[in-house]
Amino acid sequence: MSNQVKYLLDENDIPKEWYNIMADFKNPPIPPLHPGTMQPVGPDDLGPLFPMELIMQEVSTERYIEIPDALRDIYRQWRPSPLYRARRLEQALDTPAKIYYKYEGVSPAGSHKPNTALAQAFYNKKEGVKRLTTETGAGQWGSSLALAGAFFGLEVEVFMVKVSFEQKPYRKAFMESFGATCHASPSNLTEAGKAILAESPDNSGSLGIAISEAVERAVQRDDTKYALGSVLNHVLMHQTVIGQEAIKQMEMADDYPDIVVGCTGGGSNFSGIAFPFLGEKLRGGKDIEIVAVEPANCPSLTKGRYAYDFGDTGKMTPLVKMHTLGAGFIPPANHAGGLRYHGMAPLVSQVVHEGYVRPTSYHQTECFAAGVTFGKAEGILPAPEANHAVKGAIEEALKCKRDGVEKTILFNLCGHGNFDMAAYQNYASGLLTDDDYNDQELAMALAGLPKVA
């Protein structure tokens, strides 16, 4: 029996800077538009929602942005996170491929999300904010912001997509243990929520709706700002600690990936692992393949349109150029709640559009099967979202076996599945289904995309 090989960095190897991929783009990033004027959004437009330091990070084109020491001190609780060579998985698959995974489940909330939650709480606290509102899908983001709120003494109010709220009651208990409040979305607490409930009282919610509610609550109070767990440039940038560490760890292993795999919902964990490697490629480094794996029933990259769209259902956010299924698209109920978003981060969309990233999609039951195979070999049951990355990596490894080639595959295991055992239970009992989206509903949502010149 082979075992994993663990590559552990020293605390001094926690990155001192975040990496900003915009600095290495051949084409400039495409600006967001103000929903009223349809003109590019300036920093001041974002003032009611975010503290100024995060806004400056959002629009920066500097390649590196310093991570405050006080924040690196907090990261030290679990960073640098381990990188493993999955020898037992390789053996189980009988593949000539070498499989590595970066494991973000060691964070106190069990996923990569605290990397940005703590950063956002840090800057909000610094600017005197008292209260943060946010949305959450599966609950990983809400849990992470609740934790950050407890550390920094900020109140946190979370709007959780109703279908996940009902599937995962323990996530609410987790957030509340850290002192946060958590509402099922759509709720009766906001105009956006009320409007949707009036139209469809049984609405199961979506990230787009929850964002509308959280944004509405934030703009109502001066001492309150909004925090987003993915999609935005600064959020993706905070996650680049993952890939920067992985580059050093691959050096320790005296190896370099041929293929980097991540799962995509809003795009944050994917960017975290992929952008530092893609940056090296853009600056003339090795011509690696990068694979983004999304759920087949919420396929923004593989079936969406690359167009300007709203980030939320209530059309309160700026418009961004992204791969989108339309802000009105409600994905089928799906345990990989963190991947149920109608759009995709503009930066991820742009690198997909420009051909640097290959998008692919899988159904959830085949992803759970991959997760169980991984778990038996490596001892970790992944979060349902992470199962998509596992599936993507296993497919690449099996292709290596068919082709008889030894490639090096690296994927991001963005979180553990400890809070998702109900889904594993359903999977084991054959109760998990692959509900597809409705073609007609998708066509309607796409037809509703805003007309932008």
Judged by the rule CB under 8 A, the positions of this chain that interact with a second copy are: 1, 3-4, 6, 8, 11, 73-74, 76-77, 84, 88, 106, 108-110, 147, 150-152, 169-174, 176-179, 372, 375-381, 416, 418-419, 421-422, 424-425, 428
Question: Minimal distance in Å, beta carbon 324 to a second copy?
Answer: 34
Q: 110 vs 343, which CB is nearer to a second copy? A: 110
Spatial distance between the Cα atoms of 187 and 193, rounded to a whole number of angstroms = 5
- Amino acid at the residue 124: N
User: Hey, which residues does 33 pair with through a beta bridge?
Assistant: 40, 319
Give the residue among 210, 244, 202 at the shortest CA–CA distance from 228: 210
Task: Pick between residue 172 and residue 388 the one whose CB is nearest to a second copy.
Answer: 172
Please choose, from the candidates 124, 130, 115, the residue with its C-alpha nearest in 3D space to the C-alpha of residue 71: 115
As measured in angstroms, the least distance from the Cβ of 151 to a second copy is: 7
Region label for 150, one of left (φ > 0), alpha (ψ between -120 and 50) or beta (otherwise) = alpha
**Distance in Å, CB of 413 to a second copy, minimum:** 12
Write the Ramachandran bin of 23: left for phi over 0, alpha for psi from -120 to 50, otherwise beta.
alpha
Minimum distance from residue 372 beta carbon to a second copy (Å):
6
Distance CA 125, CA 105 (A): 26
Least distance in angstroms from the C-beta of 97 to a second copy: 21
State the nearest-atom distance from the C-beta of 15 to a second copy, in Å.
17
Least distance (Å) from a second copy to the CB of residue 434? 19
User: Is 441 in contact with 408 (CB distance < 8 Å)?
Assistant: no
**Using N-to-C axis directions, what is the helix angle for 140-152 and 169-177, rounded to 10°?**
10
CB nearer to a second copy: give 173 or 452: 173
Q: b/e for 93-125, b at 16 or more Cβ within 10 A? A: bebebbbbbbbbbbbbbbbbbbbbbbbbbbbbb
Which residue number, 197 or 372, has a Cβ lying nearer to a second copy?
A: 372
**Helix runs in 379-438, H state only:** 384-403, 421-428
Closer to a second copy by Cβ: residue 94 or 287 = 94
Q: Which is nearer to a second copy, 4 or 313 (CB)?
A: 4
**Is the CB of 177 or the CB of 433 nearer to a second copy?**
177
